[in-house]
Chains A and B, each alone.
Chain A
Amino acid sequence: MSGIHFTRIAALLTALVLTVPLFAARGDADFTRFVALGDSYGAGVVNASLNERHQIHSWPAIIARQAGAPLFVQPLVTYPGIGPELELVDVLSFPPVIRPATGTVTIDVSYPAPYNNLSIPGAAVQHMTTLTGAQQPTNTPTAFAQFILRGLGTPVQQAIALHPTFIAVWIGGNDLLGAVLSGTPAALTPVETFRTAYNAMLDQLVAGAPSAGMVVGNLPTTPAALPLLTTVPPVIINPATREPLLIGGNPVFLVADLGGGNIGQLPPGSVVLLTAAGKVAQGFGIPPALATQPPFNQLPGAGQPLSDADVLTPDEQVQIIARVAEYNQIIQQAAQQRDIPVADINALFNRFAAGFHVGPFEFGPEYITGGIFSFDGVHLTDLGYMFFANEYIRTINRAYDESIPVAGLWQYFANNEPGTTASGDGTRWTLSDEAAASILRFATPLPKRRLRGATH
């Protein structure tokens, strides 16, 4: 008798142990009211543009779909979007031709409640508790906040106002991206500022939505993953051969402002930003000694150095990577203290950098052809955001003992309708006239000049 009892108790205990998730996460993975906080990644910026063709594939939107969230409203912008979408025109020429699309943009700002996706392109961590959309639009985040936040409160306040059952956050990319884009580590958010802002954000969220489940994510430390940093070689390319020019068997590094007006040849390991590709094509960075020789004497910029903002020296890269590692420590600690699981986006970017297969399809970090990064070299493609969302979904599943299905690549096959697998390309779509008219009816035109000027 007692033997049977013991067996039953043991079985019960075993069952209990087995069902307790490994991570004691706060709240539940209940997506009845799901809110996301973030930056341009969360907003779904693709090809340097925020527009609805890609917003519907933002990582928060994918999580909402996969988790079956009943309502997930985003501040949709019509094509060609804010920052008109960059489009690949010619892939066979060298370099490939990528051009912004043209067209008129409308935004419907009539939605009365806070949006479920409160991601603000350009936003850094501190903006989550400071931006309201009521401020003067002086830079990217304040400009986007105009129609995303609409003066209804900070992203954190608006999130809480929705009485969220689950909150997903990925913020911090812009705390480091400014330094990358300006080519100087001085633009990095100071560590203590980052720590204070990140903890303030989580404190307010936890206090305002005490029973909501949460997930945050860390930041990539892998520069090699970004086409922004890997596409333009730091050495002189012979325009005739498209191969590095060799002098005495060695490549010739470009000349740039190495910091503080110190003009010199780039040390090995330096990177030239994709944003400087046009200048490099015009001959900037070619040393004066070579500038007078053909074919370089044909180039208008030859003999002039690249600017400090165009390049990152190995020293600068080390400083940025070290700072991001510190940010990640802060995120890890802040999350752990509050029982919030952390999605390992750093590992995801390592996977991006290494390249990987999904079924028969290969993905990698290459510009244009790799499939993960969009034409701006920083933001992801729709497929890239799918992998991003899946990393979050796996983290949520582990921490909350859930089984949300990941998003499947098959949804991004172009010909999934019956009878269309033989030909055709179903991905280009246009609004019907009726749909366009109904949007226009509710749209309040925004000060376009300000928004158009916005960059990310």
Chain B
Amino acid sequence: MRFASRSFLSLSVAFLIATPALPSGFMIPEQGAKASAMSGAFTAIADDPSAVFYNPAGLAQQRRLSGIAGATFITFDNSFRGDPNDELTSGATGRYDNHLFIVPNAYAVVPIGENMTFGIGTFAAFGLRTDWADPWIGRFISRDVNLKTASVEPALAWQTSDGRFAVGAGVEYRLARVTLERNNGVLSPFTGRIVDVANIYLDGDWAGGVAWNAGVLLEPNDRFRFGLSYRSDMDIDIDGEAVFTQIPTGNPQLDAIVAAGLPMDQRISATIPFPAHLALGLGYGGAAWDIDFDITHTTWSRFQTLVVEFENPNPPPLVAPQNWDDTMSFRIGGSRRVTEEWDVRLGALFDQNPQPTEVVGPLLPDSDRLGASFGLGYYSGPWLADAGLLFLEFLERSTNGRSPEFNGTYRTHATLYFVNFGVRF
């Protein structure tokens, strides 16, 4: 008799189908409360210590010893709805678990002599979490992705004595780690149902890499300012551990078959490509107000394929096409001094997403984003404080039946709260 055991033979292989892909669109440009309140349109202004991140040339104009510290707090509200024509997802719904993500930042500025300024900052400009709440029907593709980064960057800036022209540059040391988790399911011949048989947890260790950052600020007259800022691309090679945990089904034979095919826990390695980011800013202002308009370009097209190598032959390497595109964003922000102590800030943004429709999925359902921001600044003696919020609406994204494995419509809304406290001498 021929019992070609399609499901069983493919069991070990099945650990590799439905490949975890790394997320994209995982940049977090909100790394300072003042800039964020202006929707990140800050390249031509860059007049607080977060210039280390936004445009190091902006450090040069800061002639006082100063420091700020704070954080961005991010909450997500999202939903997934299965495609009514998809034989896997039709009728299903899902959402992320509730989380409050805290992305801290701190910067310090130290003037050196007449024309030079030293700055140092720590921030986390990349990160992502897509933690789907149980019971998540996409768990066989992705249950949880967690990418964290932490950076430290010293920078140096120089300006001409008239303050009309400044350049700056810095070196960023970036640490990153990523974890990916999903379940593996098989069709049980005993019950005719798809049962969870294993949990796969890819746990990357922290690993580091170096990028550089440079900027220019030009102020031809008292009205106009031009800023240009570039942060280089980089790769981080991550090592880690793959943990395969069997989930008992209650059927001893099925459990034995699964146990026989389950790969051993083993070392893994992968490379995370980070994009280069170019921002061009045009500023216009007066004595008590500033407007900045930024256009940015991010080389997400570096993320073409994700490869995770396993130490052992079982499982074979995981190769997941991503085929992302470069993206642009458009940001406008304004700041106005209303009293001696108070500033009011507003901003708006449009941020393109890098994902082709086919690769939109539970790992990262990205989409173009519209944002509106608001913030207040407070200055009193040496003390200063900035606070604000940004509403990010991810435009509804549907795979339109083009995903090879998981079709549906994603909606996401994020609210970002940011606050910085500082002191200037």
Contacts and interface: CB of A to CB of B under 8 A. Distances in A.
Given A366-B4, A370-B6, A414 B193 contact: yes
A381 interface: yes
B1 A233 contact: yes
Given A359-B18, A417-B135, A425 B250 contact: yes
Nearest to B249: A425
Given A405-B90, A407-B90, A231 B250 contact: no
Contacts of B8: 369
Contact of B5 (A46, A366, A394, A403): A366
Contact of B183 (A421, A425, A427, A428): A421
Interface in A358-392: 358-364, 366-371, 374, 381-383, 386-387, 390
A226 to B, nearest CB: 14
A408 B3 contact: no
A363 to B, nearest CB: 8
Given A362-B10, A366-B3, A421-B134, A406 B194 contact: no
Interface residues of B, number: 54
A367 B7 CA distance: 11
A410 B6 contact: no
B95 to A, nearest CB: 13
B87 A408 contact: yes
B18 A88 contact: no
A317 to B, nearest CB: 18
Contact of A359 (B135, B193, B199, B405): B405
Contact of B6 (A359, A369, A414): A369
Interface string B96-120: 0000000000000000000000000
A420 B190 contact: no
A380 to B, nearest CB: 10
Interface in A228-280: 230-233, 237, 277
B406 interface: yes
Contacts of B4: 366, 369
B210 interface: no
B180 to A, nearest CB: 15
A182 B140 CA distance: 43
Nearest to A90: B253
Contacts of B2: 230-233, 367
Interface string B125-151: 000000000111101110000000000
B92 interface: yes
Interface string A90-101: 111011100000
Contact of B141 (A92, A359, A364): A359
Interface in B372-404: 404
Nearest to B407: A359
A416 interface: yes
Interface stretch (B78-86, B157-165, B229-237): B78-86
Nearest to B186: A361
Contacts of A361: 88, 140, 185, 187, 194
Interface in A409-431: 409-428
Contacts of B406: 359
A366 B6 contact: yes
B256 A422 contact: no
Nearest to B191: A427
A418 B3 contact: no
B243 to A, nearest CB: 14
A374 B189 CA distance: 9
A405 B1 contact: no
B316 to A, nearest CB: 16
A369 B192 CA distance: 9
B194 A412 contact: yes
A357 interface: yes
26 contacts: A90-B253, A91-B189, A91-B254, A92-B257, A94-B1, A237-B1, A359-B140, A359-B405, A360-B17, A360-B185, A361-B187, A362-B7, A369-B187, A370-B7, A374-B192, A405-B90, A407-B91, A408-B87, A408-B90, A413-B194, A419-B134, A420-B135, A421-B139, A421-B196, A423-B247, A427-B188
Given A359-B88, A362-B10, A364-B6, 20 more contacts: A46-B192, A231-B2, A233-B2, A361-B140, A361-B187, A369-B5, A382-B192, A387-B87, A394-B85, A405-B84, A406-B85, A411-B91, A413-B196, A414-B193, A415-B195, A417-B135, A421-B136, A423-B247, A425-B250, A425-B251
Closest 7 CB pairs of A and B: A405-B84, A360-B18, A408-B90, A359-B88, A410-B137, A427-B191, A414-B193
